[in-house]
Structure 1
């Protein structure tokens, strides 16, 4: 067990300033937050983020394993990134025309991925998904798309889903349910199920979209041979294979999941780590497909697409991925952190399940083999969510859904603090 003799101030700090700011926020902002993902988040107001830590307005520090939902591959506000963006900002933000920065950024994306021939930049992963759908429908002349249970592709009407007693339906009031009619939802990691649908309906299916490693829910890897079979079936039926690598891209390695698992999609979507924390997304893929946008046949527009500071962020991030790759450091820290969390659970006689990749992993309670959304939900996810709230109280900033992200900025001091605080939080949580 870890040394708990040194008091951690986070559990005794008053949150007076956070409380007052949260009260004011609720008066002018629905729910007091600007993304519904944060509605069940900690009732804390943050003042700054640097490296691997967050600091609240109340003077509390948190070891951060959420990393803004994953973008901060090198930690918060690394000097190489903020300097590059500041320099670019001094020369202008948006031009309404082309810049050298966007040319260099596009070249770096394609070189770093190793398989993509062209790229179009945007701001968010949500909009990149929609661009991929439009392009796939244009090149195939078909309308239907196959997707998978538990995979997240944005919050718009045609992609936002919720599981209602086994049926995947609209997740929000006001959502137009008919916009989901062109989608079939299948269990992931089940190539036979996909093959059955493609054999039956292949002539009307434009695309298959998936997270090639299911990080958003459970950090679940593809089973051996699964992606290869999907690739072969899509090619046989003339279906565009789309990898949603908004989370996995550049996080699981310089070539993303496509290179990690050795399977090349037709199109792929990137975001989050692509800009190191700045809002940038990308649609990348085969030139013969993306050129349909370049001719004007398929529309893809946006005032802030390839905005200059965002392109500077892409260049700075990917140059560091090339010249100072963070993956060895991240893997080492993540592996030790995973082992330490398991050991703490065992020391209290609890079955803490810690699985995934050291760059991103999942923590919950249970002892089942997890291969897809259904098996993930055989774990006691609600019990872990309650633990996550106590972890935040003790200075470990994590998501209630169980996904932990690791950055290059996490070092030995953070590892020691995180495990010490985790143990104290666990003991406190068990006593409640």
Structure 2
């Protein structure tokens, strides 16, 4: 099966290149095909040329409920009639804060923002203010935004800036260590007394969907307590996706601060910084966090509606079942086609690549993946109506059902046949 022409997509992309660099508004999209979509519905996307796709990219993760949730969009449209931003408080803020804090279950305070990048920066600033220290620990292969002090690449154990034009010395405030390696972590903390925070993706969704080994997050928590260090969970992806209470619920470890985004607002641009009252209340005592569009009326309406849906009709069992069947189906197709197609991660967020079948436990383990071959496969998948990220992450939504499961496996089968 091959899709119809993409004449209109091509024309739109040509015009886009005259308007914005590369024709895209986020560099992540440079890796994908030049397809222009006109609408999304549930677990499907439809482009301007009339082609349909089963979507397992979900806007890079935000669409946990699927595309264009009527409940969320109707709530946003209704409340937006009040206005958008006032430069002051409004009547939905308390309701959004209450449902958010009640849902995650562990934090005392929340501040809403727009992006995970900015909320990560606020968390690091709070940690420095609280401890009087300047540096932080993070793990190779994790992603905490695109700003100079956090954007990094690690190749063969050497970490460097992730962008041309980046101020390399801003990374000097960071100790980069391997994930899932408590021994190196203990050594690092013992050797340095200038560490304000440890920031960690509880599941490394940005690097092969690597899960923490048993006890690893608990050991980070113990060491932070021992050394007086602030523990920050970057739950931009895992929050409300891996469980209703995020990674805190799934793994039973509580941070001091956590950053949320993506799945919390049904596809609307909202992030959140949550934490203990002791830390968060520093935002009234000299630590600056600001943003014109923070806690806008549409944002709060989206949070209230989305979290209400997730609480009233939790989709997690359905998502786990679908994702588990999909992972198994991908493995079976790899075996049937005699190709080293591998997957690992959680049913709601897993990684697919070419390589040896053994699980990898840190970023260095991903060096054996054949990323180029997998990128080629994704281009064939696009032609067969499957929308996925070339970097390997697959996201499952509450809108994915048996029809999508059957369809995606048939189309993957056809794509592997075409690649042979």
TM-score per shorter chain, which class? over 0.9
State the shift of 1:12 in Å.
Answer: 4.0
Provide the residue aligned with 1:105 in structure 2.
96
User: Is residue 366 of structure 1 aligned with residue 355 of structure 2?
Assistant: yes
Distance in 1 between residues matched to 2:224 and 2:343, nearest whole Å: 33
Counting only pairs closer than 5 Å after superposition, residues 208-223 of structure 1 correspond to structure 2 as 208-223=198-213
**Partners in 2 of 1:34 and 1:369 — Cα distance?**
34
Q: Which of residues 273, 279, 282 in structure 2 aligns to 1:292?
A: 282
Equivalent in the alignment of 2:316: 327
1:192 aligns with 2:187: no
**Secondary structure at 1:27's aligned position in 2?**
helix
Task: Map Cα deviations across residues 333-356 of structure 1 (whole Å, 9 max, x no partner).
Answer: 111111111111111112211211
> Take 1:404 and 1:219, find their aligned partners in 2: how far apart are those partners?
9
**Is contact 2:3-2:51 (8 Å) kept?**
no
Alpha-carbon separation, structure 2, partners of 1:49 and 1:133: 36
Shift of 1:164: 4.5
Q: CA deviation at 1:165?
A: 4.4
Name the structure 2 match of 1:267: 257
In the TM superposition, what whole-angstrom CA distance separates every residue of 1:203-230 from its partner, at most 9, and x where no partner exists? Answer: 2100000101111111111001111111
State the distance in 1 between where 2:359 and 2:260 align: 29
Distance 2:285 2:36 in 1: 45
Q: Equivalent of 2:54, from 57, 63, 67?
A: 63
Contact 2:54/2:385, CA 8 A, preserved across alignment: yes
Q: Does 1:255 align with 2:245?
A: yes
Q: With structure 2 as the length reference, what TM-score do the two structures score?
A: 0.98
Structure 2 SS opposite 1:247: coil
Distance 1:309 1:12, change over 3 A: closer
Aligned to 2:325: 336
How far apart are the structure 2 equivalents of 1:364 and 1:169? 24
For residues 351-408 of structure 1, give each alpha carbon's deviation from its aligned partner in whole angstroms, at most 9, with x where no partner exists: 2112111111111122233001011222222221211111111100001111100001
Superposition deviation, residue 166 in structure 1: 3.0
**SS of residue paired to 2:120:** helix
Q: Match for 1:92 among 74, 80, 83?
A: 83
Q: 1:133 is matched with which residue?
A: 124
- The 2-side partners of 1:242 and 1:222 are apart by 15
User: Contact 2:157–2:364 at 8 Å: present in 1 too?
Assistant: no
C-alpha separation between the residues in 2 aligned to 1:151 and 1:348? 32
**2:298 corresponds to 1:305:** no
1:118 alignment counterpart? 109
Question: Any unmatched runs of 5+ in structure 1?
Answer: 1-7
1:236-251 alignment runs, 5 A limit: 236-251=226-241
Q: Secondary structure at the match of 1:181?
A: helix
How far did 1:40 drift? 1.3
Give the aligned length: 419
- For residues 189 and 388 of structure 2, what CA distance do their matches in structure 1 show? 39
Aligned residue among 343, 346, 359 for 1:354: 343
Q: Which moved more, 1:156-165 or 1:72-81?
A: 156-165
User: How far off is 1:163 after superposition?
Assistant: 2.5
Counterpart position of 1:80:
71
TM-score by length of 1: 0.96
Give the 3-state SS of the residue equivalent to 1:349 in structure 2. Answer: coil
- Unaligned ranges ≥5, structure 2: none
> Counterpart of 1:167?
158
Which whole-Å CA distance do the structure 2 matches of 1:139 and 1:52 have between them? 43
Counterpart in 2 of 1:276?
266
CA distance in 1, matches of 2:353, 2:127: 37
Q: Provide the aligned C-alpha RMSD in A.
A: 1.0
> Residue 55 of structure 1: SS of its match in structure 2?
strand
Residues 236-267 of structure 1 deviation map (CA, whole Å, 9 limit, x = unaligned): 00000000000000000111001100000000
1:429 aligns with 2:419: yes
| Alpha-carbon distance between aligned partners in 2 of 1:331 and 1:165, rounded to the nearest angstrom | 34
Aligned residue number for residue 46 of structure 1: 37
